[in-house]
Amino acid sequence: MSSRPLRLPVAFPTVSRSERGRVLAGVCAGIAERLAVDATLVRLTFALLTFAAGAGVVAYLGAWTLLPAPGAEPVSRWRRIAGVVLVVWAAVLALHGLGLAGSLVWPLALAAAGLVIAAGAVSFGLHPRTARVLAAVLILAGVVVFLGDNTRGSASTLLAPGAVAVSLLLVLGPWAFRLARERDAERAERIRTQEREELAARVHDSVLQTLALIQREPNDPRRVATLARRQERELRAWLYPSSEPAADGTLAGAVDAAAAEIEELHGVRVEVVRTGDAPLDDRTHALVLAAREAMANASKHSGANEVSVFLDADTTHVALFVRDRGSGFDPDAVADDRRGIAESIRGRMERVGGTARIVSSPGDGTEVELELPEAPG
């Protein structure tokens, strides 16, 4: 990770000398092309700078050294360093020429050199750490020179600390940023490890146990199916918690729990589909108990290996359907002593103001429809 080169916060713009419209070395034309201005303007700038103690000439030489010929590889490391020295020298000359006091120019030059080294460490072929130390030393030297030369009261005393702070930020910023990022990556890795451990624990506690149980009783298909089904339900609840909001305390949760119980007891698949949910109160609780009875009947008597349950609920109206594709029966012919239907289903629903309807005919399966209209008052 640390071998990755530091991204330059301030990269050298990719300027090259220009073949087209060159007068001397194509420096001005190249810069103009890059900046998309007229080459005359650039030439004029260099010319004017020449009046400032010849800074223009030095700057031109520096640029010539720095900029590669058109289409050529970037210039070598030594040429680059030499070029920077020339450019900084030009800047010093220019600032002198413009009438700035030496006490301000030299610190600025030192700080500028520091910044350039810090920003261009990679293109100078310096190790980032060496470059940073070098930059810090140059900037500090600038500060020392500045403080040594300036008498109190000068307006620039106010600016200087700010400039130093900004410079230090530019030099040390990328380094601090990378440090922070490494720390983040470390934390993410730690969280990942924790998650992996939790997953391993979960798989061990549930899936592996179930597989062991299945291997012990391979000849009892019903038991195997029940175990597999229970495992599936557990894993699902864990993997997709959002689709199983059904915690205790809501109607949907209670229906799920009842279905799971019936599966365990009778070894029949109970497939629950639901839309919406409602709070669990006396009325909806009665509905769950009636539904549970209907599921139990379907599992015990129908001979079907799957029971479908559909819960359609909102705050005002609840409907629940239990359907099997088993043998079916004639509802009218059921003896009154079969308390399952009469008492546990119909009676329960009617006591809380709901209805139960049983649709069945021999050979066609059975459907029990339970409904709770809006609560009175």
Partner 1 sequence: MSRPLRRVVLVDDHDLFRAGVRSELGPTVEIVGEAGSVLEAVPLIKELDPDVVLLDVHLPDGGGQAVILQVAPERPGVKFLALSVSDAAEDVIGVIRAGARGYVTKTISAEELTEAVHRTADGDAVFSPRLAGFVLDAFRGGEATADPELDQLTAREREVLQLIARGYRYKEIAARLHLSARTVESHVSAVLRKLQLSNRNELTRWAAQRRLI
User: Which residues of this protein are in contact with partner 1, per CB under 8 A?
Assistant: 232, 236, 239-240, 242-244, 269, 271, 273-276, 308, 310, 312, 314, 321, 323, 325, 367
Location of structure tokens 């109190």: 152
Closer Cβ to partner 1, 102 or 221, answer by number: 221
Location of structure tokens 């005359």: 40
- Alpha-carbon distance 249 to 60, whole Å? 81
C-alpha pair distances (Å), 251 with each of 220, 310, 320, 345, 353: 34, 12, 11, 17, 17
Q: Which of 236, 226, 278 is nearest to 253 (CA)?
A: 278
Q: How far is the CB of 55 from partner 1 (least distance, A)?
A: 56
Is the separation of the CB atoms in 19 and 12 below 8 Å? no
Q: How far is the CB of 243 from partner 1 (least distance, A)?
A: 5
What is the rounded end-to-end Cα distance, in angstroms, of the chain?
A: 68
Closer Cβ to partner 1, 344 or 366, answer by number: 366
Both tokens of 277, joined, read: 């949910």
Q: How far is the CB of 266 from partner 1 (least distance, A)?
A: 17
Q: How far is the CB of 286 from partner 1 (least distance, A)?
A: 21
Closer Cβ to partner 1, 142 or 365, answer by number: 365
Location of structure tokens 């087209």: 20
Q: How far is the CB of 324 from partner 1 (least distance, A)?
A: 8
Closer Cβ to partner 1, 111 or 307, answer by number: 307
Closer Cβ to partner 1, 199 or 342, answer by number: 199
Amino acid at the residue 376: P
Both tokens of 332, joined, read: 């009218």
Q: How far is the CB of 192 from partner 1 (least distance, A)?
A: 18
Q: Is 365 left (phi over 0), alpha (psi -120 to 50) or beta?
A: left
Q: How far is the CB of 271 from partner 1 (least distance, A)?
A: 7
Closer Cβ to partner 1, 130 or 243, answer by number: 243
Burial letters for 127-156: b for 16+ Cβ neighbours within 10 Å, e otherwise? Answer: ebeebbebbbebbbbbbebbeeebeeeeee
Closer Cβ to partner 1, 218 or 377, answer by number: 218
C-alpha pair distances (Å), 139 with each of 100, 144, 152, 165, 179: 19, 9, 21, 10, 22
Q: How far is the CB of 270 from partner 1 (least distance, A)?
A: 11
Closer Cβ to partner 1, 264 or 312, answer by number: 312
